[in-house]
């Protein structure tokens, strides 16, 4: 969740650290910091609560630089966002500096040891405990090698982590160790660098080394050594990053979120190309297994794609169980999984810890795993038996938009192929996606209408999103996006369930978003809209008819997108949800690109 960088070179690397951190800003913006070694016996640190710009200001007033350094953007887990809790954390003698992503589960045990040694903590973080633990070890073992330090620390700690260590007594060497949190590096002549994201290393080289769980690396300007936690030399995974470097730029848009919504049509067309290039492999992958159960597995918006997929499987009358499961629950309350199970994992980042845990569990039970991942080379991309690129292009805004559209369409492709694993079936899906891309373009062109709706809901504190059948997935996405982007509470519900209790919350004027994209249940959903209208609520109705339906339009605020049929019409409504949430966020003065308390990539459980 936090972003980690490091560099060691035959020249100053202060600027490199900041440039790399800029690529990782989305991973956490509670605070940012760097430490560098510029000679003498001490490492110097600058850190600041808030986004990276705050750190840059501090560095402007009080610069530090050197040939080696480490850096961090934080998403707070232990301890509030503050200057004190910001990383890097320094040992008392300023001889060791550490940045960390993840959670150290047994940090309280380590505090006891540290306090017994007379060390006073200055922060509330688990990371600071690590730096004192190493410093106590080095006090007795001043010449310890990188391998010995990693071995010692790995014996002491439990949890999920990516840790980077800099020490003053061996200033040119930086150590990274990884367990269940991503870590990558490049090693060139004169410079080596570490980062939690491949994207921030591409400026050095497209040949990236990805550490596996339980591996560590020691980098110097002249080379590197990869080894396991016992110190045994080991091989990292080599990835060639052949995807385009996305300039982290808004390209004339006010916000990344708005830019990324505008990219939804092109992202979807790119998914079609990507799936087409994997078509033979996909047909073969599905044909190779006697599939008795399918489990869509994901978190957040990506999990709503699973909801759509599992409901669409019922539309297609698939004679097998197709479940949609949430990553965080799966490991602890798993459905029955065996070698006749196909898990379909869906993830933008490919680093979502809850999804990774679930995939590992499913694999351990014999399931085969197919993934749809946006970030190439990410953990999920590498972990699965087959991976198809979502190809949405890099997403910077924390609320996911273009990747979600592709995630939704990815699950429907799997269902189409399970129903009929033929070229014709693939072609029909492709045609549907291309028509959907055109419809999304039309929806974006009608942004003003959606902005008007946003003005009507912006003053409210609570709302509902209703859908039946396939539309329930649209309702889920609308509710999450409004909460996340506009801080407006929205509860998703099956339209038919509303009358079983929640209707009591309806007050005069309350906004209720009603989706009519699934033709199988349209008339039923209209009945629900009539009911809530009778109770004084204000329905916002998202229809999918060839022509506006005046009877339905008379029930509330009405937006009719094209009639594409199932499942495409339900997915077209996601763009409406994205634009509505974006405009509501602007009116409610939220940070739509970086909502409070959230990070783009959730690499902790
Ligand atoms: C919502 C959002 C999150 C992600 C979820 C899964 O806008 O961005 O709910 O969908 O955290 O992330 P990935 O797809 O990276 O596994």
- For the chain, what are the domain ranges? 3-240, 251-444, 446-605
CA-atom Rg of the chain in angstroms: 25
Ligand 1 atom nearest to CA at 398: 8
- Eight-class DSSP state of 51: S
Q: 40 CA to middle of ligand 1, Å? A: 45
Residues in the chain where the model's pLDDT stays below 70: 1, 243-248
Spatial distance between the Cα atoms of 251 and 253, rounded to a whole number of angstroms: 6
432 CB contacts (<8 Å, ≥6 apart)? 564, 565, 568
Distance (angstroms) between ligand 1 centre and the Cα of 569 equals 22
Atom of ligand 1 nearest to the CA of 404: 10
> What residue ranges in 159-212 does DSSP mark as E strands?
159-167, 174-179, 184-188, 191-195, 207-210
Cα–Cα separations (whole angstroms), residue 24 to 82, 89, 195: 19, 19, 9
Percentage of residues of the chain with pLDDT beyond 70: 99
Q: What's the confidence (pLDDT) of residue 469?
A: 97
Instruction: Identify the bridge partners of residue 175 per DSSP, sorted by sequence position.
Output: 165, 218
Query: Exposed/middle/buried for 547, CB within 10 Å: 0-12, 13-18, 19+?
Result: exposed
Q: Which two tokens stand for residue 437?
A: 């891309």
Q: How far apart are CA 28 and CA 1, in angstroms?
A: 6
What tokens were used for 149? 């330090």
pLDDT, residue 247, reads: 54
Q: Which residues contact 358 (CB under 8 A, 6 or more apart)?
A: 297, 325, 327, 330, 331, 334, 343, 345
CA of 301 to the centre of ligand 1 (A): 5
> 3-240: what fold?
3.60.20
Q: What CATH class is the domain 251-444? A: alpha beta
Residues in the chain: 605
Question: 401: buried, middle or exposed (CB in 10 Å: 19+, 13-18, 0-12)?
Answer: buried
Protein residue with least CA distance to atom 16, ligand 1: 347
Which residues contact ligand 1 via a Cβ below 6 A? Answer: 299-302, 347-349, 352, 355, 399-400, 480, 484, 601-602
Q: Give me the phi and psi of 71, to 5 degrees please.
A: -150, 170
pLDDT at 387: 97
Task: Indicate if 2 belongs to the active site.
Answer: yes
Pick the CATH number of 446-605 from 3.30.450.20, 3.20.20.140, 3.40.50.10490, 3.30.479.30: 3.40.50.10490
Note the pLDDT of residue 580: 98
Could you give the dihedral angle defined by the CA atoms of residues 127, 131, 132 and 135, in that order, rounded to the nearest 10 degrees? 170
Catalytic residue among 47, 259, 402, 600: 600
Cα–Cα dist 49/55, whole Å: 8
Query: Is residue 524 annotated as part of the catalytic site, yes or no?
Result: no
DSSP code of residue 236: P
Q: Is the pTM of this model over 0.85?
A: yes
Q: What is the maximal distance between C-alpha atoms in the chain?
A: 81
Rounded to 5 degrees, what are φ and ψ at 411?
A: -70, -30
pLDDT of residue 59: 97
Tokens of 477: 């996405």
Q: 3-class DSSP state for residue 424?
A: helix
Angle at the Cα of 2 from the Cα atoms of 137 and 215, rounded to 5 degrees: 50
Question: Cβ distance 465 to 475 under 8 Å?
Answer: yes
Residue 79's pLDDT is: 83
**d(Cα 195, Cα 172) in Å, to the nearest integer?**
17
Which residue among 2, 23, 181, 433 is the active-site one? 2
pLDDT for 248: 60
Mutate which of 300, 372, 402 for ligand 1 pocket (most atoms within 8 A of beta carbon): 300
Task: Report the relative pairing of strands 557-561 and 174-179 from DSSP bridges.
Answer: unpaired
Q: How far is the CA of 299 from the centre of ligand 1 (A)?
A: 6
* Neighbour tally for 597: CB within 10 Å: 9
Alpha helical stretches, state H, 195-262: 256-262
Distances (CA, A) of 522 to 542, 571, 582: 11, 15, 27
Q: Which atom of ligand 1 is nearest to the CA of 349?
A: 15
* 411 CA to centre of ligand 1 in angstroms: 15
Is 446-605 the same fold as 3-240? no
């Amino acid at each position: 969740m936090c972003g980690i960088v490091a560099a060691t070179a035959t020249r100053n690397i202060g600027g490199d650290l900041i440039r790399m951190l800029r690529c990782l800003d989305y991973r956490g913006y509670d605070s940012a910091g760097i430490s560098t070694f510029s000679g003498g016996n001490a490492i110097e640190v600058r850190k600041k609560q808030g986004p990276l710009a705050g750190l840059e200001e501090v560095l402007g007033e009080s610069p530090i630089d050197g040939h080696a350094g480490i850096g961090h953007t934080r998403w707070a887990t232990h301890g509030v966002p503050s200057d004190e809790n910001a990383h890097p954390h320094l040992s008392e003698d300023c001889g060791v500096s550490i940045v960390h992503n993840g959670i150290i589960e047994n940090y309280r045990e380590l505090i006891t040891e540290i306090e017994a040694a007379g060390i006073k903590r200055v922060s509330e973080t688990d990371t600071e405990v690590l730096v004192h633990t190493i410093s106590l070890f080095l006090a007795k073992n001043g010449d310890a090698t990188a391998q010995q330090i990693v071995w010692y620390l790995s014996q002491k700690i439990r949890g999920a982590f990516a840790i980077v260590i800099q020490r003053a007594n061996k200033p040119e060497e930086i150590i990274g160790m990884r367990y269940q949190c991503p870590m990558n590096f490049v090693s060139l002549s004169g410079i080596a660098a570490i980062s939690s994201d491949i994207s921030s290393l591409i400026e050095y080289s497209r040949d990236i080394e990805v550490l596996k769980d339980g591996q560590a690396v020691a980098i110097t300007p002249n080379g590197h050594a990869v080894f396991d936690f016992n110190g045994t030399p080991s091989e990292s995974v080599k990835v060639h990053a052949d995807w385009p470097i996305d300039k982290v730029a808004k390209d004339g848009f006010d916000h990344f979120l708005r830019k990324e919504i505008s990219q939804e049509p092109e992202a979807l067309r790119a998914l079609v190309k990507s799936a087409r290039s994997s078509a033979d492999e996909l047909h073969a992958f599905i044909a190779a297994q006697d599939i008795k159960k399918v489990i869509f597995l994901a978190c957040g918006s990506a999990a709503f794609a699973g909801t759509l997929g599992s409901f669409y499987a019922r539309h297609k009358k698939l004679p097998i169980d197709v479940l949609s499961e949430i990553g965080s629950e799966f490991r602890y309350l798993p459905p029955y999984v065996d070698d006749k199970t196909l898990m379909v994992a869906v993830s933008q980042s490919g680093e979502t810890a809850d999804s990774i845990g679930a995939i590992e569990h499913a694999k351990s039970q014999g399931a085969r795993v197919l993934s749809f991942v946006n970030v190439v080379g990410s953990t999920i991309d590498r972990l699965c038996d087959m991976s198809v690129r979502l190809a949405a292009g890099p997403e910077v805004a924390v609320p996911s938009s273009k990747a979600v559209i592709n995630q939704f369409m990815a699950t429907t492709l799997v269902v189409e192929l399970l129903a009929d694993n033929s070229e014709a079936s693939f072609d029909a899906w492709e045609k549907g996606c291309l028509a959907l891309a055109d419809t999304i373009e039309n929806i974006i062109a009608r942004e003003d209408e959606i902005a008007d709706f946003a003005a009507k809901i912006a003053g409210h504190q609570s709302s509902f999103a209703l859908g039946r059948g396939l539309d329930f997935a649209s309702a889920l996405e609308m509710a999450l996006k409004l909460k996340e982007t506009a801080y407006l509470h929205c509860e998703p519900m099956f339209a038919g369930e509303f009358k079983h209790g929640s209707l009591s919350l309806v007050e005069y004027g309350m906004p209720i978003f009603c989706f009519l994209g699934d033709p199988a249940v349209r008339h039923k959903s209209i009945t629900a809209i009539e009911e809530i209208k009778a109770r004084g609520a204000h329905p916002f109705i998202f229809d999918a008819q060839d022509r506006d339906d005046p009877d339905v339009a008379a029930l509330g605020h009405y937006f009719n997108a094209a009639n594409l049929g199932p499942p495409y019409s339900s997915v077209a409504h996601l763009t409406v949800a994205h634009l509505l949430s974006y405009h509501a966020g602007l009116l409610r003065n939220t940070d739509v690109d970086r909502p409070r308390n959230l990070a783009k990539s959730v690499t902790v459980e």
